[in-house]
Structure formats: C-alpha cells, structure tokens
Structure 1
C-alpha cells in the first residue's frame, strides 16, 4: 500500500513527538501541517522535505484535494472546532484523545461524521501498549480466571511541574483527568466493558489544572477498576495489577519512568508477571506496538477497513470522565 498524504494539525509534543514519528515509521508522509511557532515550523521543514506549513487550518483545508487524511493534534480545547472543519471538508480525520472536552461535544462530532458520511477515528494509542496487548492475551486464554479487580496507575514524581497548556488550560481541555484519564478509562473499558458507576477524587496540587486523579469504576460485568494519575507521587505504585481467582498479573514499571520496583523488572522479551502467591512467571510479550494504529489507518482510508478505534468508544469514555 502506498503511504497516505497526511495533513497534521499541530506540530508540538503530540504532533511531532508522537504522530509524526509513528506516521513516518509506517510509511505515511506529512505533506501539510498547521503551526505558527517559529521553532516548530523549522522542525517540520527539517523533518519532511517539501512540507507545506500553514498558519491556520483554513490554509491546510484549502489543499484538501491533495490530502488523504487529516490528524488533529491541537490542544484538546480546539478539537471540536478543528474536527468540525475537517469533517466539513469531507476528509477522513484522526483526532488525538480526548475526542472532545466532554461527552456532549464528543457525541456531536460522532453524529456529524455519521451524517456527512466522513470517516472519523480517535487516537487511543495506549490500546497498543505492550502491557495492554499482553494482558488481553492472558484474559483471552483465561489464565487469571474470573477477574474481580483491575488497577492501573500513571504516577510520576514531578514536584516542579511542566508549564504547558496541559497544566494550565482550566476548563479548556487541560489537566490529568482528560489527558491521562482518557487513556486509563479507555483501557479499562476495552478490557472489561461498559461502566455502570463512577467515583472520582480530583485535585490540583501543583498546577492550575487537575494533577491528581483517582477513579473507581464498576463495570457492567462486575469488575471494579481503580485508576490513578498523579504528578506528585514520590513513590509510584506498580503500573498494573489485575486480580483474578486463578492468579494476578503484575507490571511494575512503565516506559522508563522511575520506580521503586526495579528489582521486579521482567526479563527481555517479557511484559510483567503472572503471580500466584510467591510464584512469579514472566509473561512473554506479543508482537505489535503503537505504529499498528497507523497501519490500520492506512487500510481504513485506502481500503475501507474498520476504523482502528470506534469513535463511539470515545463518547463512552467522555461520559465516564464527565460523571
């Protein structure tokens, strides 16, 4: 399959650091991007020969006939406006999570796409995390038995916080609830189904937007999920712990973040441990990775394959975060 011609809205931490990197890995080409920041303009021109840099989305959409898909990687508070415009231009669109800042806006975008007949998907790349793929395999094989609790933590020690829109945009998409909570809730729902009840504890300790979040979810099937995200955690807990009546799955670290559990790092080629009391068995890591999302985008756009993420899932995630 020939690589897609991609318009990328935003060329910052998400646009350049995540999307552009994965797009290049699978052979897609960023032909157009939207940014006004001088350093980001220079970075885009360095990264992509002949890239067209536009100061606004209207400029990019003026070249719609030369694009196959648009990726919206702008701040979350702009997702509604930007995605509406791309859908109005009739272009398939990938929206970085969260799809929108609340369920009302997310639902509007899904309905707009359906009525216009324009493909829409959401970048929930954490479905392709090593631990998520490994855990799905364990569940499918029934190795944990009947699961009753799922725990996942995204805890960091950042006593001096970063100074970005994510830390400061109160009410406009900033904060850990929308940023990391979107990933955490999506992961839980993908594994254990729709959520029936929600308990939340949300605080802002060091930043204007929330930076300390705990969610307790009860899934329709009875599993309870405990999800946490924090920027002020001097002793991060184990990344993932899943409890079943035949054993548990334990992952102690995540993407090189500092952890007090370094002695429990799984051996090469493995992801976490199957635990039964004092018995620990390293679990082999299945093949795959985040780039698989954009491989599926290629098949979705070029051949009408299923979307890598059903946008309706993003609506349910937003409903949970709104609760």
Structure 2
C-alpha cells in the first residue's frame, strides 16, 4: 500500500478535529506536514510531522501528494489554486469558495491539471443525514412533496472570529452551515427551479448573517432550509412529508463532540449509535399503516477519507467533486441575491 503523503494547511479546530485524526488513523495516508504560522500545538500530538510556518513553504515540499486546504474561506481560492499549480491533489474545506465564479475557476484548473479536487462535506457521513437518505432512497414515504432541513445552534454571544462573523465576503451562517444544508438538498432532491431567501443578523456584535431561511422550488416539491444561532430548544433537523407518510429525524450525530473530547476515529464504527430513538416514521407499507420510532446507525467521517483513498489509488469516482460544490456555491449566491432583491430568483437547470 503506497501511502498518500498529506499536508494540512491549518491547525485550528478543523485541522485538529476533522482532518488530522482521520489522516493519522487511516492506513492509506501518512500525515506528513502541518502548517502553524505561530503556534506549536501540533508538536505534542503529531511530533513526527514536518512543521511549516506558511502554506507556501509546505507547497514547495515535493514529497507531498495531497493538501488539505482548511484555512478561512476567504483564503480558499488562493490556497487551493496554489496547491493545484504545485501539482497536488486537494481537499478543500466547505464552504468551497466565497463565490461560484471562484468555484468554477478551481474546478476547471483541477481538470486542466488532471488532479483530484474534492470538497470536504463530512455531514454526508452523519448518522442523521444517512437515515434520511435511506428512508427517501427506499421510497418509504411515496413521492416526497415537502421537506425541511435545519441546522440550529444556541450561541448568543459573538465568537470574535472575523472570518466567520465579521463584515467579510463569505462570512456568516449562510456560507458556514448553509453549505451543508444546500449540499444535502442538492444530493437528495437535485437542482431546484427557483430560490427565495431571507437573511438576517440577530445577535449584537455580529456583522454577518446568523439566521437564514431558504425556500427551494421544484415542480412538485418545496424544500425549506433554515438555520439560527438562537435556538435554545431543539427541533427536528429533518421533516419529510410524502404522499404515503412522514419522517422526522433529530440531529443526533455525536462525532464532532467525541472528536473534540479526544476520541480517536477508525475505519470501523467508532462512534456509538444514538442511545435512544432519534427518528419517527409514520407511513403506509403495503396495506399496513406503520407508526414507529427509529434509531439511526452510527455515522463515520472516516468514510470520506476512505472514499478519497479509493479515488486516488483505485480510480473510483470522486465522492465530492468540485463540480458538485460549484452547484452548492451557485445556490448560496442565489440565496444572497434573493435576500438582497427581495424576490424569487430563477435558478433552473
């Protein structure tokens, strides 16, 4: 097994929680380099890696094959472009870019260079999303006519992170959590015909949007995407209604919490399934009406890096190709335009 020598462009939360542990634990990768501009946090956890003080210095390392671009979104296009021009395969954190134009540029560059450019949509590997995907995929609800996907948090105080909450392009909840919701809507239901959105800033000390509601128009389906930072009480993360029944699913994946506490991931199921039912299915199966609580199976973000390994070493399809992320950025841009102009935006095919 030829290991994929990998470098991580930043060692903040995403580097420490979502990337380094998985690269270190997967037998197909070698965590070889980490960028920390000023700190030395990686020395304690990963002393065998090379410490670089800049992304540029790391990209000059010819031994590296894969670069994880997990710097602030405002730097994604610069660092992803530089990595591709250096001949590296790249994983770029979500949100992929600030604008769809930047996303298309990077997608085209990767294709020109014959390199793999993948976007880290780890929430596709959450237990709750996979439960919803399974119910829809097995046609348990009949034809789906209405869906709502939410990602709420309770963070009444500003974080102080300018790249997420300041007056900067690409900051705000729409690009942060909205990139997950838009990706999931596109995966489950495809590209909508029209988009309408409302964006707001609810908290003092925050410049960027921290609330959004987006309505996606399909010929025979409506999908609502919502997020707020002032939800103290939980609400079903997924509400799906079809001609035969309904499915409610709580946001119940605990991987992020376990990783933050120092849990080590693996290829095997390492995060437990929910300890109690986290879904409700009420539908008709055959001639019988069924109403039952459901419990989702464990999620595993390692699935992303395992799928990427198969892409780089076995030629399998890119699990999150940049072209899909282009559509996500187009959807977020349409939502921004709708909120600014106060009207429904034609999206189309």
Pick aligned residue for 2:86 from 89, 99, 104: 89
1:71-110 map, 5 Å: 71-110=68-107
Shift of 1:60: 0.3
- Maintained 8 Å contact 1:83/1:109: yes
Cα distance change, pair 37–231 in 1 and its aligned pair in 2 (3 A): farther
Residue number in structure 1 paired with 2:160: 163
1:273 to 2:273 alignment: no
CA distance in 2, matches of 1:196, 1:25: 42
In the other structure, the counterpart of 1:137 is 134
- After superposition, where does 1:2-21 map in structure 2 within 5 Å? 2-21=2-21
The 1-side partners of 2:250 and 2:276 are apart by 15
1:68 Cα deviation from its structure 2 partner:
2.2
Which residue does 1:30 correspond to in 2?
A: 31
Matched, 1:50 2:48: yes
Q: Which residue of 1 aligns with 2:196?
A: 199
Q: Per the alignment, do residues 235 and 195 of structure 1 end up closer, same or farther by CA in structure 2, a change over 3 Å counting?
A: same
Aligned to 1:248: 246
- TM-score normalised by structure 1 residue count: 0.89
State whether structure 2 residue 315 is matched by structure 1 residue 304.
yes
Indicate the residue corresponding to 2:207 in structure 1. Answer: 208
Map of 1:263 onto structure 2: none
Q: 1:269 to 1:306 in 2, by over 3 A?
A: farther
Q: Given that residues 167 and 208 in structure 1 are in contact (C-alpha distance below 8 angstroms), is that contact kept between their aligned partners in structure 2?
A: no
TM value normalised by structure 2 = 0.83
Give the C-alpha shift of residue 224 in structure 1.
1.3
**CA gap 1:284/1:252 in 2 versus in 1, 3 angstroms:** closer
Q: Is the contact made by 1:166 and 1:209 (CA closer than 8 Å) also made in structure 2?
A: no
What displacement does 1:200 show?
Answer: 0.7
CA positional deviation for 1:223:
2.2
CA-based RMSD of the aligned residues comes to 2.2
Do the aligned partners of residues 238 and 269 (structure 1) sit closer, same or farther apart at CA in structure 2, a change above 3 Å counting? closer
Taking a change above 3 Å as real, the CA distance of residues 267 and 133 of structure 1, as seen in their structure-2 partners, is closer
1:62 paired residue number: 60
Q: Which residue of 1 aligns with 2:260?
A: none
- Residue aligned with 1:159, SS: coil
Task: State the SS of the aligned residue for 1:155.
Answer: coil
Q: CA offset at residue 75 of structure 1? A: 0.3
**Between 291-300 and 229-238, the greater mean CA deviation after superposition:** 229-238
Q: Using the TM superposition, name which of 282-291 and 270-279 deviates more.
A: 270-279
Secondary structure of 2:13's counterpart equals coil
- Unpaired segments of 5 or more residues in structure 1? 258-265
Mapping of 1:117-156 within 5 angstroms? 117-156=114-153
Contact residue 267 and residue 282 of structure 1 kept, 8 A = no
Q: Answer yes or no: is the 8 Å Cα contact 1:130–1:271 preserved in 2.
A: no
1:292 matched to which residue of 2? 303
Q: What is the CA distance between 1:102 and its match in structure 2?
A: 0.8
Could you say if the C-alpha distance between residues 275 and 34 of structure 1 is closer, same or farther in structure 2, counting changes exceeding 3 Å?
A: same
Corresponding residue pairs, total: 310
Query: Per-residue CA shift, 1:214-234, capped at 9, x if unaligned?
Result: 111123x53211111111223
Q: Structure 2 regions of 5+ residues with no counterpart?
A: 257-272, 335-349
Q: Find the residue that maps to 1:217 and give its secondary structure.
A: strand
Matches within 5 A, 1:211-230: 211-219=210-218, 222-230=220-228
- Per-residue CA deviations over 1:118-177 (Å, capped at 9, x if unaligned) read 111111111111122112211121101110111111112222232223443423321100
